[in-house]
Amino acid sequence: MNSMTPRLLDRYALVRVNEVRAEYGLEPSATTWGQLQGARRQLIITSAAFDFPATMPDNARYVGPILDDPAWAADADWMAPAGDGPLVLVAMSSTFQNHVDCLKRITDALGGLPVRGVVTTGPAVATNAIHAPANVTVVASAPHREVMRQADLVVTHGGHGTVIKTLAAGLPLVILHHGRDQVDNAVRVTTRGAGIAVSRRASAEKIARAIAKVLDDPGYRRAAAELGETVARDATGVVLIDELEKVGAS
């Protein structure tokens, strides 16, 4: 991975990087990593409490997460199914990760449980690709921060944005990770006792058992709320603004 990633970045990104550098009168960078490594600051947009302890470069700073919903979801309409059962939000990848079958199995799992489900498909999946049982609403998008105020659990692929928003809301997770950063995020969650991870190839029955387990054990929600309290506190943006001002003044 260490040898392949730089080659891919240079093939697809280096030309554009150097075009931008030229616009600002800068010499071209030999590699894409060279652009990144030359930064005066590396601003890590997450909470240090979410990450594991590590020795960081001198120019790296945790500045807290950003919890805003994307513009395409912020004003979207949604409605929870009728009833008073626990509300489960399903929020998978906003980009295509070959996750349609996984999303179908999650929806089927919700259909067999005494819960209410809200499934957001995102831009990569058409809503009519998912059959919705009576206790599940399928929508293209919804403001997750708003849904999470009413939710009891989030089922997700484990992307950083969804995970960190879920924790900030004090909610536990069931994670079916697919790739990218998602395996690492799942480990961060499960190690803290804030949720459980299930294979993305798991059957609907196994997914249903995982959802029921997290809902039935208040320990998961307590652990999520404990970690989420720090995450939410770090999301004020104060540290981010302070670091940007320091760079601008230097």
66-111, pLDDT tens digit by residue? 898 888 777 788 888 999 999 999 998 777 777 889 999 999 999 9
* 198 and 91 in a common domain: yes
pLDDT band per the 50, 70, 90 thresholds, residue 225: very high
Residue 59: what are its φ and ψ, rounded to 5°?
Answer: -95, 10
Which residue type sits at 134?
A
Q: Rounded to whole angstroms, how far apart are CA atoms 77 and 16? A: 37
* 90 and 29 in a common domain: no
* 118 and 30 in a common domain: no
Count of domains forming the chain: 3
Which residue type sits at 96?
F
Domain carrying residue 99: 71-232
* 194 and 88 in a common domain: yes
* 155 and 132 in a common domain: yes
* 241 and 174 in a common domain: no
* 57 and 120 in a common domain: no
pLDDT band per the 50, 70, 90 thresholds, residue 112: very high
* 172 and 61 in a common domain: no
Which tokens hold the place of 90? Answer: 């399903």
* 56 and 2 in a common domain: no
% of the chain surpassing 70 pLDDT: 100
Across the range 122-148, mean pLDDT stands at: 88
Which tokens hold the place of 249? Answer: 């003044």
* 75 and 60 in a common domain: no
Across the range 124-150, mean pLDDT stands at: 89
Instruction: Name beta bridge partners: 136.
Output: 117
* 56 and 10 in a common domain: no
Q: Rounded to whole angstroms, how far apart are CA atoms 77 and 166? A: 20
- CATH number (domain holding residue 163): 3.40.50.2000
* 91 and 210 in a common domain: yes
Contact 179, 191 (CB under 8 A): no
Which tokens hold the place of 34? Answer: 């060279």
